[in-house]
Structure 1
Amino acid sequence: MSSSNASSPTFNSIAAILETDFRVERSAISPDTALSDLGLDSLALMEFVFAVEDAFHLRIPEDRLDPREAGITLQRLCEVIDTESAGSAAAAQPAEATA
């Protein structure tokens, strides 16, 4: 059990969204919690992913993370967000210059 990921800024942001917007108990939120175990129906799960994308100003490609896929954990979501954030930050510089 790694406690370092449980206190990462990405994880804390996701946990706050779950608590505030989706009324998930904080005790039910940990890095190894599967999205399917959060008690959200499929529509709420998609809304959660959209809320996370908005919070981090990115879009998660479905081939990187399909929230309907069994076994996707909050830790996996954090990893995808961190990877996408790093990639989009690097790609955003030239795109904004030409926009």
Structure 2
Amino acid sequence: MNSPTFNSIAAILQSEFHLEASQIHADAALIDLGLDSLALMEFVFAVEDAFRLRIPEDRLDPREAGITLQRLCEVIDDMQYAPAQRGVSLAAAA
């Protein structure tokens, strides 16, 4: 996957969470990135801040098994085209 959204998320994972590029691919599940629960929530905050949005938990719960980076990109892209759907931060709900 080579979209601007994915590239931004990959940059966050590399710079702020010190993941290797080889670990970052579209079908990588968030839970399998090697981030503990606190780091996972910090990652969600970082992504939300980078894209200036808050992802409602009903759109994407990072604690849910199987949520992939591709799904995260899809949610972000959908929200960028429908700003009225922006809601409470996932991390705030945890």
Alignment of 1:24-63 (within 5 A): 24-63=19-58
TM-score by length of 2: 0.88
Q: Which residue of 1 aligns with 2:92?
A: none
Verify: 1:81 aligned to 2:76, yes or no: yes
- Residues 1:62 and 1:27: Cα distance change in structure 2 (over 3 Å): same
* Larger Rg over CA atoms: 1
TM-score by length of 1: 0.83
Q: Which residue of 2 aligns with 1:23?
A: 18
Give CA-to-partner distance per residue, 1:55-77, whole Å, 9 cap, x none.
Answer: 00000000000000000000000
Contact 2:79 2:85 survives alignment (8 Å):
no
Q: Which residue of 1 aligns with 2:67?
A: 72
Identity %, equivalent residues: 74
Which runs of no fewer than 5 residues in structure 2 stay unpaired? 87-94
CA distance in 1, matches of 2:77, 2:61: 16
Q: After TM superposition, give the deviation of residue 89 of structure 1 in Å.
A: 7.4
Tell me which amino acid in the other structure corresponds to 2:72: L
Q: Hey, which of these two has a bigger chunk of helix by percent? A: 1
Equivalent residues, number: 86
- Residues 1:26 and 1:89: Cα distance change in structure 2 (over 3 Å): farther
State the 4+ residue runs in structure 1 displaced beyond 2 angstroms. Answer: none
Give the alignment's Cα RMSD to 1 decimal.
Answer: 1.6
Which runs of no fewer than 5 residues in structure 1 stay unpaired? 1-5, 92-99
